[in-house]
Chains A and B, each alone.
Chain A
């Protein structure tokens, strides 16, 4: 005997559903109660069980098909049974069998979203006069949200008017929203980021150390440089200066400029600095290479070029490889301080906060200075606390005394 499996009616309001995923293929054995298909309603994705045991003889529709409730969508029987090759479709919702309580299946498991039928107001039978219906339609009001005061709770025109006057019902009933989430497959940059962040935190022994730096001298120097470069239409950013500082500090602190790989710890004699960029596709980290050999103007041109490429989505794979250190800056979002996750296989990442005027104590006096917080996340497998602190102190030293960059 062949049982036709029909598009289930998973709620009183459901008129059609989408076949999201067949959980069995043609020829598979299936037990009664075993999940058979994932059905998407306008509210949720629900796993629906097979009501009978047997062999899946025929799946009539591919995944993604939208069909009215009660439309046969699969045939289950004994192996060797001849299921019809085609089935006629149910033309309209109006022609579907009269629904009874029994025909409303209870979902077995909500896959993506909660099935909200039982407690939701949608399940109560709605009574409303034609006049109330017309007024609600005119005002785009869901009558399920309106309390009916007529006979048997029937919604009359006045109820809708009161609902409108009360600011669409704040005073009458709590707003009811049909929960809805959209699902985007994990892919592209997001997928890579997810994998690398997870790898980073699961493989490394990450911890961090922080310092506030006084930006007074750096600001002054930047202004002098930019005044000088204005005629060439070049503008040095704080990030450019920070790259230059980090390059010098990395060369002087090889333990921070290292990478733990299968054959051991690699110490570099070069500084390739990655810049975390918020592109339209998500986080990307282009690498400016050999910054320790560059002048500040060269650093600026190269970093600007990399950032532009990142934002346009035109980075080549090589542009994102070979980094020995990464700088992540959230100062433009008014972030004072944060911790970053190391970009494997690097050993350190510097999280840079904003420059803000703060009260500090200098020479027994409280004075206002432009301050910036740096947070260095490091891999304790490779570098200990003291050398990482020395590295950060080195960065602080160069920022606060930029003249030493010339030494």
Chain B
């Protein structure tokens, strides 16, 4: 068991899958010599050569179109979109091609493609390179959407995504690449659609994913000082959604906070809240609250950039609001 960085876990997953299956190849802007702007494809060129680690022109349409075509022809491409904010340029491929091909051809053609991309604040990259746009993809039928929060998860999930016969939008977080975590030496897989309880608790369920898992864990620690035992549920996969684990947790706690960095309005948290309200209404002992990104373009300046995202203080405050009355009375 080694403590490795998130970005190295990505590279490790890619290398293992490329060794295992010759049809797996990597393509994207600066993925080869540079090893990706966040070094997540570092070392691959040396081992697998330029045929399987391909730099592309600065064209998301070209990357996504080529990768989709290759996948239709039997390859298993891992196409990197440097920033999720850039995907608009090739969005027709996402919206109408890769996600619909299997359906349109009655299953004769599959698209075993992984679109690796990254999202989020943290580098003062400004409003066009810092967004969290997972809700765009969860809204499109025919796509799987995965957003890992730890080195262990990113490796196991990326390997499963590569082996999946459906197009998977695999969204990493730029603020996580340099975080470290324990990753086993041998091969392992994490199935898509399986959430993970990052911290067990009995009073409130914090449902989150990607980098805000770390925020929630920090908040949970602080909440212990307030006598509140929070459970942190990392969804890992947004589509398919592990509602069984949500059910188990919410049935236990009766209180739900949803935390995501993406803008609150129209975010995936609203979808989860609606589904909980629908299926678990009688379990609820408080209204479902959300702590999300502010509904504004992500600011450049560091302080507003951070403050417009979920913070530990915001999560603690929201949980305390949920846990009013009853046994939490002072």
Contact = CB atoms under 8 A, between A and B. Distances in A.
Interface of A: 129-134, 148-151, 154, 156-159
Contact of A130 (B281, B324, B325): B281
Interface in B283-305: 283-286
A6 to B, nearest CB: 34
Between B254, B284, B326, the greatest number of chain A beta carbons within 10 A of the residue's beta carbon is seen for: B326
Nearest to A150: B325
B325 A156 contact: yes
Contact of B254 (A131, A149, A159): A131
Contacts of B327: 158
Given A158-B285, A159-B325, 8 more contacts: A130-B282, A131-B282, A149-B329, A156-B286, A157-B254, A158-B325, A158-B326, A159-B326
Contacts of B284: 129-131
A150 B326 contact: yes
B277 to A, nearest CB: 9
Interface size class of B (residues with CB under 8 A): 10 to 19
B33 to A, nearest CB: 58
A129 B329 contact: no
Nearest to A132: B285
Q: Which applies to chain A's interface (DSSP): helix, strand, loop or mixed?
A: helix
B325 A131 contact: no
Contacts, number: 41
A157 B329 contact: no
A156 B326 contact: yes
A149 B283 contact: no
Contacts of B325: 148-151, 154, 156, 158-159
A169 to B, nearest CB: 15
Interface in B306-330: 324-327, 329
Given A131-B254, A156-B326, A158-B325, A150 B286 contact: yes
A131 B285 contact: yes
Contacts of A157: 254, 285, 326
Given A129-B286, A131-B254, A156-B286, A149 B326 contact: yes
Nearest to B284: A130
17 contacts: A129-B254, A130-B281, A130-B283, A131-B282, A132-B285, A134-B282, A149-B325, A149-B326, A149-B329, A150-B324, A150-B325, A151-B325, A154-B325, A157-B254, A158-B325, A159-B325, A159-B326
A8 to B, nearest CB: 34
Nearest to A153: B325
A158 B254 CA distance: 11
Nearest to B280: A130
A131 B329 contact: no
Contacts of A134: 282
Nearest to B285: A131
A148 B325 CA distance: 8
A274 to B, nearest CB: 66
Interface string B58-78: 000000000000000000000
Contacts of B281: 130
A131 B283 contact: yes
Contacts of A150: 286, 324-326
B285 A156 contact: yes
A319 B327 CA distance: 72
| 5 A-B pairs closest in CB distance | A158-B326, A150-B325, A149-B325, A131-B285, A156-B326
B38 to A, nearest CB: 44
A129 B285 CA distance: 5
A114 to B, nearest CB: 34
Contacts of B326: 149-150, 156-159
Nearest to B281: A130
A157 B283 CA distance: 10
